[in-house]
Amino acid sequence: MEYSYKFRIYPNGTQIRQIQRTFECCCFVYNYYLDQRIKAYQTDGSSLGYVACANDITKLKKLFPWLAEVDATALQSSLRDLDSAYKNFIRGCKQGQRGCHLHRRPQCERHGQKLSSREGDP
């Protein structure tokens, strides 16, 4: 038998700001590298994978020092999410699913009042 536990956290003001900053940085990294992937494909038909983006993130942290304030694991997680979303999109195109053209880019968005770092989160 499997058990599950639900925890509710009550962060203070400093922790809330850090959580929001982490979500905002994850969304920035996701959208930045999505744009880089699209530009790479449009210029020479190549694709940036997870490893190339993960290696490049240190250069991005030097360009934007505020990215270094958050946990690197969260940023890498957003890169993994981007990689899996891109692979699923390409697989859907190869299987002939409708709506394969990229008329709406998947992005991190605000859903209501909550900031989501993953596309499917409410």
Residue 51 lies in a domain: yes
The domain tally of the chain equals: 1
Model confidence at 115: pLDDT above 80: no
Tell me how far apart the terminal alpha carbons of the chain are, to the nearest angstrom.
Answer: 29
Query: pLDDT above 90 covers what percent of the chain?
Result: 53
Residue 122 lies in a domain: no
Average pLDDT over residues 21-43: 91
Residue 91 lies in a domain: yes
Domain hosting 22: range is 13-95
Distance between CA atoms of residues 96 and 90, nearest Å:
10
Model confidence at 121: pLDDT above 50: no
CA 54 vs. chain centroid, Å, equals 12
- Which of 2-6, 37-41, 107-111, 114-118 shows the lowest mean pLDDT across its residues? 114-118
Residue 106 lies in a domain: no
Average pLDDT over residues 99-113: 54
Would you put residue 99 in left (φ > 0), alpha (ψ -120 to 50) or beta? left
The overall average pLDDT reported for the chain is 82
Residue 118 lies in a domain: no
Closest Cα to residue 73, out of 119, 25, 37, 116? Answer: 25
pTM, entire model: 0.74
pLDDT-derived band at 98, boundaries 50, 70, 90 = low
Residue 119 lies in a domain: no
111/77: higher pLDDT: 77
Which residues have C-beta within 8 Å of that of residue 2, sequence separation ≥ 6?
none
- Which of 32-36, 53-57, 89-93 shows the lowest mean pLDDT across its residues? 89-93
